[in-house]
Amino acid sequence: MHHFQYQDGRLCAEDVPLEKIAKEVGTPCYVYSHATLSHHFKVFDGAFDEVPHLTCYSVKACSNIAIIRLFAKMGGGVDIVSGGELFRALKAGVPSQKIVFSGVGKTKEEMRMALKVGILMFNVESEAELFALNQVAKEMNKIAPIALRVNPDVDPKTHPYISTGLKKNKFGIDISIAKQLYLKANELSNINVIGIDCHIGSQLTTLSPFLDALERVKRLYKELVAKGLDLKYLDLGGGLGIPYHEEEPPHPTEYAKAIMEAAKDLHCTLIFEPGRVIVGNAGILLTKVLYLKQNQEKNFVIVDAAMNDLARPSLYDAYHEIFPVKKEARDTFVADVVGPICESGDFLAKDRKMPKVEAGELLAVMSAGAYGFSMSSNYNSRPRAAEVLVKGDEYFIIRERESYEDLVKLEKIPAWME
């Protein structure tokens, strides 16, 4: 469900015409629907009301502090993977006791930041990280609460670049040696073992990988409890997919029902790290057609958004629906929708059958709320797009468009060059 619909032949975000936003804010820009964000969070979080749980929004999906703040006000926590995301979460008002810190490469400075504010737990990804965290905590006279991220070697059947739970992936600790490392962790002076963490990938469209992973983690959980470990949390990560095109992922309530049934014999709080399933279809990338171009092989629709604004098509060959903002009867053609960047990989769609559009009109790139702006860059010295949040018949600029001055404000020319 999302709140981007045509009204009187014009595509709107809730009750705000996208034409109005384009005229007043400019393009390209990201537009998010408050109603969709709120609804998606409520549906996911509410599906687990029967059991103790904490929904920790995955900040990397869309990291604007206004969006993080929205979920925090609804009772959510966050899953972070860097000191910068920790800073954002605190700036947005997330209680530190609702923050879990994942990621394979936590630095000692990031560990200190998190220990200082008292986060809920670190999801530790290696033996080396475990000993480093214990040392940092000892130097600070703190106790670090941890879960080990266990790699269950389950194939999530998703794109290889967003698979995280196989033996060949860089993430987590092989489940076959996890018990041994847990027992080591339990002996460390400044470590408090409080949970198990597992995350197998992103954009999963079936339940079986989640349930396979849970069964393997449950066995480990019970073995550790039998050894006397007091495990309070089971973090099952995120990864539930969304419909971009023809996918039919399970509904969050179906996912919740299956997980709760499988975990009913565990006496712990469940933690979830949804990202894409909350924000993916709550945002679009609004762009303007600059030129039409045709050669002997192809039609090209050249727009003012590019791979630096939305990397997913170039990076994953990902599919995003693209709709004209103005709905009218028109012929169709097959075209590549491309941006201005000097790379052949700069495209938003390839060989797409679509309405014949004209220079100057607006297009909406759908399902761009997750891994859209958060993965954007300044490649080709392009200022990053504005971000807009729509609520009802009003909109709010939640990130200003970057200026050319912003591009160089941290750069310096050495005095000897002057």
Q: Supply the residues annotated as catalytic.
A: 342
In three state form, how does the secondary structure of 219-269 look?
Answer: HHHHHHHHCCCCCCEEECCCCECCCCCCCCCCCHHHHHHHHHHHCCCCCCE
CB 18, CB 325: distance < 8 Å = yes
Pick from 13, 17, 56: which is nearest to 35 by CA?
Answer: 13
Q: In 3-state terms, what secondary structure has residue 73?
A: helix
Pick from 151, 142, 93, 77: which is nearest to 113 by CA?
Answer: 142
Contacts of 206 by beta carbon, 8 Å cutoff, 6+ apart? 157, 249, 250
CB 368, CB 376: distance < 8 Å = no
- Whole-angstrom distance, CA of residue 274 vs CA of residue 341: 32
Pick from 53, 99, 121: which is nearest to 259 by CA?
Answer: 53
Q: In this structure, is the dihedral angle defined by the CA atoms of residues 18, 23, 25 and 26, taken in order, positive or negative? A: positive
- Whole-angstrom distance, CA of residue 287 vs CA of residue 281: 17
Peptide bond into 156 cis (omega under 30): no
For tokens 């014009």, name the residue.
10
CB 13, CB 4: distance < 8 Å = yes
Pick from 46, 41, 40, 21: which is nearest to 31 by CA?
Answer: 21
- Whole-angstrom distance, CA of residue 31 vs CA of residue 18: 9
CB 151, CB 128: distance < 8 Å = no
Q: Rounded to 5 degrees, what angle do the CA atoms 125, 131, 136 make?
A: 105
